[in-house]
Amino acid sequence: MNLTLKIWRQENEKAQGKFVTYEVKDISPDSSFLEMLDILNEQLVNKIQLPIAFDHDCREGICGMCSLYINGRAHGPDEGITTCQLHMRKFSDGDIITIEPWRSRGFPIIKDLMVNRDAFDNIMQSGGYISVNTGGIPDANSIPISKENSDLSMDAAACIGCGACVATCKNSSAMLFVSAKVSQFALLPQGRTEAKIISNIARMNREFLCANFS
């Protein structure tokens, strides 16, 4: 299929960004969205132009490094997946696809579609852990945890920290990211001994300047 891409290009954090339009041809519906961008980048490199910078690493939906706001939706027009798992069969020949970076005060743009998500690390450092040292731990089965709680905890723990919640939230709030960690620990006995929820949220407010509301 042939596509028209409107991609946000921005030299660095301070620079003024703008949309640039590109055409790609003969894209296989079986290729992934990022592979489609690879093909575009190969074209650009062959023309000795700067390829589009975007974050990606594992390309199997788990590392949380890929981002992209595609046609107005974080990770594009499919459900429950990341951009790297999005496949071109979700688009049609002749489509115009607008690709933007995550936009949030807390995620400054590094270059083109790449953003800085240190804010998430900072939140985790301010309390996203249970304070145990290595070693000297009682047997893993010494505290039974109900399957139900353990499963619910896992639901929350599965957050990949990609930032789509911030990108999508109309207030650019990181509340979902924070609450995923808080829920994971709150459901487990070892997590309940510490309550660091408030420090997490205070940190979030500083990082995102978001009012976390409405």
Partner 1 sequence: MAILNSKVPGGKLFDKWTEYKNHQNLVNPANKRKLDIIIVGTGLAGASAAASLGELGFKVKNFCYQDSARRAHSIAAQGGINAAKNYPNDGDSVYRLFYDTVKGGDYRARESNVYRLAEVSNSIIDQGVAQGIPFARDYGGLLDNRSFGGALVSRTFYARGQTGQQLLLGAYSALSRQINKKTVDMYNRTELMDIVIVDGRARGIVVRNLVTGKIESHFGHAVVLATGGYGNVFFLSTNAMGSNVSAAWKAHKKGSYFANPCFVQIHPTCIPVHGDFQSKLTLMSESLRNDGRIWVPKKKSDAEKIRKGQLKPESLKEEDRDYYLERRYPAFGNLVPRDVASRAAKERCDAGFGIEKTGKGVYLDFKSAIERLGKNTIEQRYGNLFQMYGKITDDNPYETPMKIYPAIHYSMGGVWVDYELMSTVKGLFVVGEANFSDHGANRLGASALMQGLADGYFVLPYTIQNYLADQIGVARMDTNLPEFKKAEKDVKLLLDKLMSIKGKRSVDSIHKELGITMWDNVGMARNKKGLELALEKIKSLKKEFWTNLRIPGEINSLNTELEKAYRLADFLELGELMAKDALHRDESSGGHFREEYQTDEGEAKRDDKNFTYAAAWEYAGENKEHILHKDVLSYENIEVKQRNYKK
Partner 2 sequence: MKKLFSSSVGQKLIMSLSGLFLITFILVHLLLNLLLLVGPEAYNKAVHFMATNPLMHLMEPVLAAGFIFHIIYATILTLQNQKARPEAYAVVDQSESSSWASRNMYVLGGLVFIFIALHLVNFFFKMKFGVGGDLPKVVYEGIKMDDAYPLVSGLFKVWWYAVIYVIGAVLLALHLRHSLWSALQTLGMNNSNLRPILENISILYAVIIGLGFSIIPIYFLIS
* Rounded CA separation 148/187 (Å): 10
Where on the phi/psi map is residue 53: left (φ > 0), alpha (ψ -120 to 50), or beta? Answer: beta
* Rounded CA separation 146/164 (Å): 31
* Rounded CA separation 66/53 (Å): 11
By beta-carbon proximity to partner 2, the closer residue of 55 and 100 is: 100
Give the per-residue contact string, 30-69, with partner 2 (x = CB under 8 A; - = no). ---------------------------------------x
What is the 8-class DSSP label of residue 57?
Answer: S
By beta-carbon proximity to partner 2, the closer residue of 106 and 161 is: 106
Q: Judged by CB under 8 A, does residue 59 bind partner 1?
A: yes
* Rounded CA separation 212/45 (Å): 42
* Rounded CA separation 61/165 (Å): 15
CB of 46 to partner 2, least distance (A): 28
CB of 82 to partner 1, least distance (A): 10
CA 64 to chain centre: 5
Give the per-residue contact string, 192-211, with partner 2 (x = CB under 8 A; - = no). ------x--xx-xx--xxxx
Q: Judged by CB under 8 A, does residue 89 bind partner 2?
A: no
Beta carbons within 10 angstroms of residue 120's beta carbon: 23
Using CB under 8 A, which of the segments 17-25, 78-86, 97-105, 171-179 binds partner 1?
78-86
Q: Please, which of residues 113-172 interact with partner 1 by CB under 8 A?
A: 114, 116-118, 120-121, 124-126, 128-135, 137-141, 143-147, 150-151, 153-154, 157-158, 160-161
Beta carbons within 10 angstroms of residue 158's beta carbon: 10
* Nearby residues of 147 by Cβ (< 8 Å), 6 or more positions away: none
* Rounded CA separation 36/7 (Å): 13
Q: Judged by CB under 8 A, does residue 183 bind partner 1?
A: no
Q: Judged by CB under 8 A, does residue 176 bind partner 1?
A: no
CB of 164 to partner 1, least distance (A): 15
Binding footprint of partner 2 on the chain (CB under 8 A): 6, 19, 69, 71-73, 98, 100, 103-106, 168, 170-173, 198, 201-202, 204-205, 208-214
